[in-house]
Amino acid sequence: MLAEKQAKKERETMANVTSGKAPMAFSDKKEHESDAEVKVSETKENLPVSVKENHLPERFFAPDEMEALGGAGQENVKITDTLLPRLAILQSLSPQLKEKKVEYIPGASAGDWCDVSVGEVFKEGIEVLPCHFSTQYIQWKKNRGGFAGNLGMDASCLRDTTLDEKRRNILPNGDIIMETATWFVLIRVGYEWRRAFLPFSVTGLKISRKWMTLIRAEKLLGKSGWFTPPMFYRPWLLSVKEESNDQGEWYVASPARIPRDPADVNPKSPDEFKTIYHLMAEMGDTDNKYLLKEAQQFYIEARDNLVVGDMGTEDINDPANARNITPGSGGLTDNSKQM
């Protein structure tokens, strides 16, 4: 019965919009007014005060009929029908830097952060809000044949492997299983926060462990005593550092907490570093806490394995892509690195 009422309401809303009965945001626009001026004036007035007074771009404020029809057409889309974008640091041999590769991105450079799924490059460090973490075991085809599958979080998949001279887990068919520390994060892109995941493997595991150690060391005092806050309590800046040895150079992530502007008193906090509450204040989102709700929802979906990461067909973090080194018949040397 409830579902029928909801469906009826949606049909009535659609009918009103198509028949012109629903309010149209631009129908009474004056000749001297721009679309943007009318759009903001008509849609901002019903928003919470904290949102009205922020400085979000005008494109974020939708006409009333669009809000009433929010999500229309996507009723049958499941979480598994979409892919979670992957973040990686471009290395000197990454396909995104090769002009004749399909993955080539004009203007990209070694050391840039890259959203591999959509080909977007970030020249500076990226600001992320970690939501969930898991160790996953990823199978890669032998001879750099590409992604073969995600074997999940059960380490028993290593039972059939043997360690080669580089201490890699090799299956009988020659494929490699790599322990991969997987971070599910919200990445800040302008005023928006997008879902993504960030995999660390090989020597990148050391960076991941350091980052996790810093997060777990954080404690807050609640009504029942000290507790460890959720991962998404604090945003982090992931800058890029260069490392090298006698085999070449490569780039790695370097996580750090983000200093808070001492002049910022909203919210009032003795903390010298930003928290999610500072982010929501910056967005004018102190009433509805949309960012906090999105972080909680992403955490639940990642925890329950309801999101699918886009690993692509070529491992951008493969040691053979990491530095300006020509692999021999047996691959790289024992000192091969990756993010």
**203, part of any domain:** yes
Query: Do strands 169-170 and 176-189 pair parallel, antiparallel, or not at all (unpaired)?
Result: antiparallel
CA dist., res. 155 & res. 136, Å (int): 8
Residues 52 and 138 in one domain: no
Q: Number of structural domains, the chain?
A: 2
Structural domain of 34: 2-68
**Is 193 found in the same domain as 233?**
yes
Look-up: residue for tokens 């980052």? 211
- Indicate whether 202 pLDDT > 70: yes
User: Measuring CA to CA, which residue among 96, 77, 91, 147 is closest to residue 324?
Assistant: 91
If asked whether residues 220 and 87 sit together in one domain, one would say: yes
Same domain assignment for residues 49 and 97: no
Q: Which residues pair with 290 in a beta bridge?
A: none
Beta-carbon contacts of 172 under 8 Å, excluding residues fewer than 6 positions away, are 160
Q: Judge if 152 and 184 occupy the same domain.
A: yes
Query: 328 lies in a domain?
Result: no
40 and 139 assigned to the same domain: no
Q: Are residues 108 and 231 in the same domain?
A: yes
How high is the pLDDT of residue 12? Answer: 52
Instruction: Say how far residue 14 (Cα) sits from the centre of its chain.
Output: 34
Question: Based on the domain organization, do 37 and 101 belong to the same domain?
Answer: no
pTM of the predicted model as reported, rounded to 2 decimal places: 0.72
Which residues lie across from 279 on neighbouring strands? none
Q: Which residue type, as a one-letter code, is found at position 161?
A: T
Helix, strand and coil content of the chain, in percent to the nearest 5, comes to 25, 25, 45
The answer to the question of residue 338 being in a domain is no
- pLDDT tens-digit series, residues 203-218: 789 999 999 999 999 9
Domain match, 89 and 49 both: no
Say how far apart CA 96 and CA 90 lie, in whole Å: 7
Indicate whether 144 and 268 sit together in one domain. yes
Is pLDDT at 2 greater than 60 in this prediction? no
Measured between alpha carbons, how far is 224 from 336 in angstroms, rounded to an integer? 48
β-bridge partners, 182: 134, 199
> Tens of pLDDT along 91-146?
999 999 999 999 999 999 999 999 988 899 999 899 999 999 999 888 888 887 78
